[in-house]
Amino acid sequence: MAKRKKLKLKKNARKAILYIIIFTFLSVFLVNKYKEYRYHQTNEYKLISINYTLKEANKIEKELTKKQVKEVIEKQKKDSVLLSLINEKYFLKKNLDKYKEYYKSNTETSFTDIVAIINVGAQEEWYYKTKNADISKKELMLVNKFHLLKEDYDPGEIVKLEGKYSYGEVSANKVTHDAFVKMADAARKDDISLLATSGFRTYERQDEIYREIRNVNGKIYADGFAARAGASEHETGYAIDVFTYSATTDNFEGTDAYKWLDAHAQDYGFILRYPKEKKYLTGYTPESWHFRYIGVETAKKVKSLGITYDEYYAYFIE
Ligand SMILES: [Zn+2]
């Protein structure tokens, strides 16, 4: 009797173990199936199934909005232009459609340039589609041919530079004035003289300058060379044209003063605002003498990135 009971127990135990094993296998199988099903619902899987690599799929998900990712998937075709664009350092997802639109008629333009042009809005003609400059940004405000100051802009306290720092009557707002004096004093210790020849201008004065140039040379020349009222950084109080003795606009770039500024201006909060070969972004022919105060921290950043302030503003501030 006891023996038979024992046998039965043994049999039941074996059965139970078998059930447990079957149950475990089944569970693992179902869980895996479920995981697979879930993975097939992900954008990553959907992107990979239209031939994007895992790395590309992850980049697309990281750089684009959910809606944009959905649109990429709906195309059911790998988009190499999209990949080039999202790999650009200053890619902004809000501009994706504009980049692509621009690329269609400018296939020779590099993707770096396409991103830069669209970010700063330079695909439009100067003074077309303008907006008010955001003056609440203070020393970081962007004023150019798309971001205009209003006629009643208040530049705050305007301070005249002492004779040893300027040629003629030149003034700037307080913070720019003080930074320039500090910079000019430091330059003097290196036997470099920095002289401000132009600083703050009123809206009315800028208007006069522009009209004079336009009346003599015509609108196209005037717009390429000078700024219409409201579009000059000189109206902000944060810009200074810097020269040295016996230098003109033609040879300033070759002077030791320019070299000194190129090496040190950012340490005092100034940047060269209209660099060479960037007119298509800044709207201005190169001006090796035009420096803009944006504060030490930002000036160092802009300098180290090697981009125009228009680009910096579009990507990091706006
Ligand atoms: Zn200037």
Q: What pLDDT, on the 0 to 100 scale, is given for residue 279?
A: 94
What distance in angstroms lies between residue 161's CA and the mean position of ligand 1's atoms?
16
User: What CATH number labels 131-317?
Assistant: 3.30.1380.10
What distance in angstroms lies between residue 287's CA and the mean position of ligand 1's atoms?
7
What distance in angstroms lies between residue 242's CA and the mean position of ligand 1's atoms?
8
Summary count for the chain: helices (H), strands (E): 14, 8
What distance in angstroms lies between residue 39's CA and the mean position of ligand 1's atoms?
58
What distance in angstroms lies between residue 289's CA and the mean position of ligand 1's atoms?
7
Quick one: CA torsion of 252, 207, 168, 308, rounded to 10 degrees? Answer: -30
CA distance 98 to 297: 31
Q: Which strands, in side-by-side order, build the sheet including 270-274?
A: 195-198, 239-243, 287-293, 270-274
Q: What pLDDT, on the 0 to 100 scale, is given for residue 224?
A: 78
What distance in angstroms lies between residue 102's CA and the mean position of ligand 1's atoms?
31
Q: What pLDDT, on the 0 to 100 scale, is given for residue 225?
A: 80
pTM of the model: 0.90
Three-point CA angle 272, 273, 278, nearest 5° = 110
Low-confidence ranges of the chain (pLDDT < 70): 1-2
What distance in angstroms lies between residue 306's CA and the mean position of ligand 1's atoms?
20
Report CA Rg, the chain. Answer: 32
What distance in angstroms lies between residue 226's CA and the mean position of ligand 1's atoms?
9
Q: For residue range 37-71, list pLDDT tens digits in order.
A: 999 999 999 999 999 999 999 999 999 999 999 99
Three-point CA angle 170, 175, 178, nearest 5° = 65
Q: What pLDDT, on the 0 to 100 scale, is given for residue 38?
A: 94
What distance in angstroms lies between residue 290's CA and the mean position of ligand 1's atoms?
4
Three-point CA angle 150, 153, 155, nearest 5° = 145
What distance in angstroms lies between residue 234's CA and the mean position of ligand 1's atoms?
6
Q: What pLDDT, on the 0 to 100 scale, is given for residue 138?
A: 97
Q: What pLDDT, on the 0 to 100 scale, is given for residue 226?
A: 85
What distance in angstroms lies between residue 17's CA and the mean position of ligand 1's atoms?
88
Q: What pLDDT, on the 0 to 100 scale, is given for residue 2?
A: 66
Q: Which two tokens stand for residue 47?
A: 């992107």
What distance in angstroms lies between residue 189's CA and the mean position of ligand 1's atoms?
25
What distance in angstroms lies between residue 6's CA and the mean position of ligand 1's atoms?
103
Three-point CA angle 40, 43, 44, nearest 5° = 80
What distance in angstroms lies between residue 299's CA and the mean position of ligand 1's atoms?
17
What distance in angstroms lies between residue 112's CA and the mean position of ligand 1's atoms?
27
DSSP one-letter string for 238-272: -EEEEE-TT--TTTGGGSHHHHHHHHHGGGGTEEE
Q: What pLDDT, on the 0 to 100 scale, is given for residue 199?
A: 98
Q: How do the domains of the chain map onto residue ranges?
A: 43-120, 131-317
What distance in angstroms lies between residue 198's CA and the mean position of ligand 1's atoms?
7
206 near 222, Cβ under 8 Å?
no
Q: What pLDDT, on the 0 to 100 scale, is given for residue 8?
A: 83
What distance in angstroms lies between residue 136's CA and the mean position of ligand 1's atoms?
22
What distance in angstroms lies between residue 199's CA and the mean position of ligand 1's atoms?
7
What distance in angstroms lies between residue 91's CA and the mean position of ligand 1's atoms?
30
